[in-house]
Amino acid sequence: MASITHTGPFVAPNPHLGSTVRELVEETHAASIRIRGSLCAITASEHGRLLAELVDRGYIQLRIELDDLTLCTSDGLDLWDELQHRLDPVAGRVTLTGAHGVVRRVLDVVQRPEGHFCPTVEPSAA
């Protein structure tokens, strides 16, 4: 059976955060989302609405590309962690990729066992 893939941009109107849905694969219930800018108290709810909409549509394997994310506060971390808890009962997964700089350092700290951060954080490219 062939995979059904949808691609296309969804760009949030916020100048401090852009969320782009890069790919939707219906067969595997997977979505790839790229975010840019700052993920903080001001922008987290906007990003959260996009992610919640994808989950409501049945996408439970979410790959969030952080290559263009320059700042992530606890608001963003909490959003991803809560989303992972929402996906746990349906074997869903939040995977964070491409983090670098200060965002990478924050993720390195929170993914320690004592941090109890649930999303998967992929290692940075060498």
Quote the crossing angle between the two packed helices 44-56 and 74-87, to the nearest 10°.
Answer: 10
Give pLDDT, residue 24.
Answer: 92
Alpha-carbon distance 8 to 22, whole Å?
6
Would you call 73 helix, strand, or coil by DSSP?
Answer: coil
Residue 66's nearest CA partner among 93, 89, 100 is: 100
pTM: 0.83
Give pLDDT, residue 19.
Answer: 81
Residue 24's nearest CA partner among 49, 48, 47, 58 is: 58
Give pLDDT, residue 58.
Answer: 96
Could you tell me the mean pLDDT of each successive run of 10 residues in the chain, 126 residues long? 41 60 92 93 91 95 95 94 95 95 92 82 76
Give pLDDT, residue 126.
Answer: 54
Return the CATH class of domain 5-121: alpha beta
Alpha-carbon distance 10 to 22, whole Å?
8
